[in-house]
């Protein structure tokens, strides 16, 4: 399967049960670069189902952003399922959570995952959005981001 190959728009799947965080990240990404579409999933199970549908359609996102603490399926389990699928395993994953727990960080250590603690201020969120878009651009080979 191919990642979204439209030269103007790439998608990022954001898996988080907090609608406010979703909206803030959507605004921050739009502020940094309007050529990215933020897809949403409300928890890990919804995220896995969304990824399977995107895979079937040949429209994999360039990045998956996962919260850790969610109902039905948390970010740890969703991450494990993503890494078990050969096609999904190639997509970069960024953990974006309010958790500053060393246990959470330890779980993801050594797994080629960026771990970012959610910022409080919008200007910090803009910097996070810029970093996320750089990861996405590197994955799909967009130069100069």
Where the chain has pLDDT below 70, the residues are: 1-8, 143-145
What confidence score (pLDDT) does residue 1 get? Answer: 42
Residue 3 lies in a domain: no
List the CATH number of the domain containing 91: 3.40.50.2300
SS3 content of the chain, % helix, strand, coil (to 5): 45, 20, 35
Residue 144 lies in a domain: no
Residue 28 lies in a domain: yes
What confidence score (pLDDT) does residue 16 get? Answer: 97
Domain that holds residue 118: 10-138
Residue 39 lies in a domain: yes
Residue 145 lies in a domain: no
What confidence score (pLDDT) does residue 145 get? Answer: 52
Number of domains in the chain: 1
Burial 2-39 (b: 16+ CB within 10 A, else e): ebbeeeeebbbbbbbbeeebbebbbebbeebeeebbbb
């Amino acid at each position: 399967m191919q990642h979204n190959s439209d030269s103007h728009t790439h998608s990022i799947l954001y898996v988080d049960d907090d609608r406010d965080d979703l909206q803030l990240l959507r605004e921050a990404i739009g502020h940094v670069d309007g050529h990215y579409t933020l897809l949403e999933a409300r928890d890990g199970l919804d995220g896995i189902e969304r990824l399977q549908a995107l895979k079937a359609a040949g429209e994999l996102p360039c990045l998956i952003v996962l919260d850790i603490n969610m109902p039905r399926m948390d970010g740890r389990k969703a991450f494990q399922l993503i890494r078990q699928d050969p096609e999904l395993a190639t997509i970069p994953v960024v953990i974006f959570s309010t958790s500053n727990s060393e246990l959470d960080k330890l779980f993801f250590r050594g797994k080629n995952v960026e771990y970012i603690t959610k910022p409080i201020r919008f200007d910090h969120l803009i910097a996070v959005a810029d970093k996320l878009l750089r990861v996405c651009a590197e994955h799909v080979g967009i130069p100069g981001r």
